[in-house]
């Protein structure tokens, strides 16, 4: 038996693939550092015997080095490990991980043997892929935007629906529309970063999260405002000023001012860091002022208020039930973060529920608001030049609701 030591380079590709399947992403990175020591005579530079933790962290944070705790990979592609010299310490090599379409320009910088090494050790991530999930988010938000625009058009074009209850619904639809536009922008941004492997913070990242949280506050409190209005009309029918157009507009303005200012303390104390894994600026989960403050102001107060004020209203119950059920993943992640470390992709998981709930709420608003459904039926009937006998029997609902 030969006494020569069998090294990784001597193993057949099939055996190497079997070994790599049982290695973690960090072990892949570590093994290539050790492997690089054997190729010093080829690359003609020195790599430290021990991995320098400082430079390893620097690579992870700034260059997207392959390690599962810090980097999200597109598992559809293979990546090439390319050695390059550091600019600060010229005798240390760092590894770049490039997609196949980006590695071509590096070929001329290395001799044939180095190119063979690069091509031989292609790396494929075993991290979960999120392309399908981001596409689902884009579809949900697109549906929300489309239905919101239709609802606003129907209310604006139907004179019989220009009443106080419909004014409150317009306020809620407008909040849904703006919220869906921001969520669509976020989902598109995440999808683009997943494909292009961009980890750097977006210039308006903090502002976008602030705007999303502010509009979500307005959206949730608009449901509470609808419940309070129904409560007043039933319990205090003689207080006409409380039910007037002017008073409700004042309340809507107060809600918008409240929503746009209440989130400012979280920004001023720097509680919205950039999360490079999820490509989002958001208060970190855990026992912190930011996440507790947002959870109480954003969800707990308005939803509980809406349910308590009037439990007999069908559409309010439907909407608050949807928000509670689809907001449960986010609530569980927040609760989990108080006691243990949440999953790495927690914000991606949570925001899928947010996007689905936004679409479900706007669909529920359409289904449970009779004047809007009747107005839509009238538009379709006029568009097709047909009359619908059922419309005559349902007109009393329109008159009753829009009084």
pLDDT tens profile 89-108:
444 445 555 556 666 666 66
Strands 122-124 and 274-275: unpaired
Q: Which residue has the higher pLDDT, 160 or 197?
A: 160
Give the HSE-up count for residue 70: Cα atoms under 13 Å, Cβ half-sphere: 15
> Distance between the two ends of the chain, CA-based, in angstroms?
97
For residue 17, the cross-strand partners are none
Tell me the percentage of the chain whose pLDDT exceeds 90: 1
Encoding tokens for residue 236?
């205090």
pLDDT (tens digit per residue) in 365-390: 777 776 777 777 777 777 665 444 44
Per the CB < 8 A criterion, the answer to whether 137 and 183 are in contact is yes
Q: Which structural domains are found in the chain, ordered by start?
A: 8-124 (no CATH), 131-368 (1.20.1070.10)
Would the pLDDT of 345 be above 70? no
Per the CB < 8 A criterion, the answer to whether 361 and 151 are in contact is no
Per the CB < 8 A criterion, the answer to whether 291 and 334 are in contact is yes
Q: What is the distance between the alpha carbons of residues 205 and 282, in angstroms, rounded to a whole number?
A: 9
Q: What is the mean pLDDT of residues 37-59?
A: 43
Encoding tokens for residue 262?
């209440």
What are the strands of the beta sheet with 122-124, ordered from one edge? 93-98, 78-85, 122-124
Would the pLDDT of 361 be above 70? yes
Per-residue model confidence (pLDDT) at position 242: 78
Report the range of poorest mean pLDDT among 65-74, 145-154, 253-262, 348-357.
Answer: 65-74
DSSP string, 287-310: S-HHHHHHHIIIIIHHHHHHHHH-
Long-range contacts of 390-399 (CB under 8 A, 24+ apart): 394/370, 397/370, 397/371, 398/160, 398/370, 398/371, 398/374, 399/160
């Amino acid at each position: 038996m030969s006494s020569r030591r069998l090294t990784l380079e001597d193993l057949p590709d099939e055996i190497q693939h079997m070994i790599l399947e049982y290695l973690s992403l960090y072990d892949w990175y570590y093994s290539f550092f050790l492997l690089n020591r054997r190729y010093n005579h080829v690359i003609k530079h020195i790599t430290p015997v021990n991995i320098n933790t400082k430079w390893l962290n620097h690579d992870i944070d700034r260059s997207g080095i392959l390690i599962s705790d810090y980097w999200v990979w597109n598992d559809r592609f293979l990546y090439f490990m390319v050695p390059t010299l550091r600019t600060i310490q010229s005798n240390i090599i760092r590894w770049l991980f490039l997609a196949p379409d980006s590695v071509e320009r590096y070929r001329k910088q290395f001799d044939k043997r180095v190119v063979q090494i690069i091509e031989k050790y292609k790396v494929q991530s075993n991290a979960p892929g999120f392309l399908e999930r981001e596409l689902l988010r884009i579809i949900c938000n697109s549906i929300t935007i489309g239905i919101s625009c239709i609802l606003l058009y129907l209310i604006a074009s139907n004179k019989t629906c220009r009443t106080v209850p419909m004014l409150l619904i317009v306020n809620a639809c407008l909040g849904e529309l703006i919220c869906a536009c921001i969520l669509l922008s976020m989902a598109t941004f995440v999808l683009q970063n997943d494909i292009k492997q961009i980890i750097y913070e977006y210039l308006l990242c903090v502002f976008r999260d602030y705007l999303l949280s502010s509009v979500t506050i307005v959206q949730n409190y608009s449901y509470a405002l609808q419940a309070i209005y129904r409560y007043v009309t039933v319990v205090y029918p003689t207080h006409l000023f409380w039910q007037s157009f002017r008073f409700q507009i004042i309340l809507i303005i107060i809600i918008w001012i409240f929503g746009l200012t209440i989130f400012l303390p979280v920004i001023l104390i720097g509680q919205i860091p950039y999360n490079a894994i999820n490509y989002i600026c958001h208060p970190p989960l855990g026992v912190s002022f930011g996440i507790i403050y947002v959870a109480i102001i954003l969800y707990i107060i308005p939803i509980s208020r809406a349910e308590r004020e009037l439990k007999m209203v069908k559409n309010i119950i439907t909407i608050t039930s949807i928000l509670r059920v689809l907001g449960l993943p986010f609530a569980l992640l927040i609760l989990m973060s108080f006691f243990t470390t949440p999953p790495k992709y927690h914000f991606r998981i949570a925001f899928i529920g947010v996007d689905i709930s936004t679409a479900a709420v706007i669909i529920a608003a359409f289904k449970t608001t009779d004047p809007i459904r009747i107005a839509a039926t009238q538009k379709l009937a006029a568009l097709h030049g047909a009359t619908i006998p059922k419309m005559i029997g349902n007109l009393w609902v329109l008159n009753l609701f829009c009084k």
